[in-house]
Amino acid sequence: MSASMSSTLSFQLRTYAKKAGKGGKGGKKGGLDDEDDEDDAHKGKAKPSGGSATEIMSFDPLDLEKKMGQCLERLKKDFTTMRAGTANPAILDSVMVKLDGKMVPLRDLAQVAIKDAKTLMVNFSDAEASILICPLLTTPIEKAIRESGLNLNPVADNKAVKVPVPKPTKEFRESLTKMASGSAEKAKTIIRKLRQDGMKDLKKDLKSGMSSDKNYTLEQKAQTLHDKYIKDIDEALKSKTKEIMSN
């Protein structure tokens, strides 16, 4: 790409990004490769709960349960991107496109739609963007998808990129199951860390005057929540693995 074309593309992308930022979807992926969300889950300070007007607790069982539930939901969302042989826009959520030396999420540049059960289409919804930017983006988008490790072979199709979803090989299925297992293990690590943080807060509460009986009861509550969500994660992984290997 020449210097002048690179400069033109940078200007057009900045203009398009401003428009997309006003009306497009924001936020990050699901998943568990989203580590910022995971850090937020176990770094958050517990809110005061229960007790008398003079008792301010560091540990909040409702807050703990909420964070563990959010962790499980993120895992399930990540699992939706792991599909074998079925066209699902979410499978391209992790694709990063190299433009002018910078890595840009594909979802910030275009929309991914389902053409049919075995084909995805990467389109530009903005008419102006299609005319100005599309010719300069199709090649880097094709390259990004092809090199994403998703076993996909995209092709340019007019002012869009067509992405056929091939019948998954045994190796691809095994790769997906390993990916799902890795995501589940990350989720378990977060659940364990949340429990550990809760136990630390309970020690603070005990030193601050909480009765030993109440402290013990809340410790058991934290452990029960931990066990529940670890089991839920195992069940979600088992279900996902069965889906991957059978489709």
Q: What is the pLDDT of residues 137-182, one digit of tens each?
A: 888 999 999 998 888 899 988 778 999 988 878 887 888 899 899 9
Q: Which CATH number fits domain 35-81+180-246: 3.30.450.20, 3.40.50.10490, 3.40.190.10, 1.10.132.20?
A: 1.10.132.20
* 220 CB-side CA count, 13 A: 6
pTM of the entire structure?
0.59
pLDDT band at 209 (very low <50, low <70, confident <90, very high): very high
Q: What is the pLDDT of residues 46-100, one digit of tens each?
A: 444 444 434 678 999 999 999 999 999 999 998 987 877 777 888 888 899 998 8
Cβ partners under 8 Å of residue 243, min gap 6: 84
For the chain, the average pLDDT equals 79
Interior/surface letters 34-52, b for 16+ CB within 10 angstroms, e for the rest: beebbeebbeeebeeeeee
Give Cα 161 to chain centroid, integer Å.
Answer: 23
Q: Which of 191, 181, 178 is nearest to 230 (CA)?
A: 191
CATH architecture label of 3-23+85-164: 2-Layer Sandwich (3.30)
Q: Same fold for the domain at 3-23+85-164 and the one at 35-81+180-246?
A: no
pLDDT computed for residue 97 by the predictor: 92
| 96 strand-pairing partners | 105
In this structure, the dihedral spanned by the alpha carbons of residues 36, 38, 39 and 41, taken in order and rounded to 10 degrees, is 130
**Spans of all domains in the chain:** 3-23+85-164, 35-81+180-246
* pLDDT at residue 242 greater than cutoff 90: yes
3-state secondary structure of 160: strand
pLDDT computed for residue 134 by the predictor: 60
Does the CA dihedral 113-108-151-131 come out positive or negative?
positive
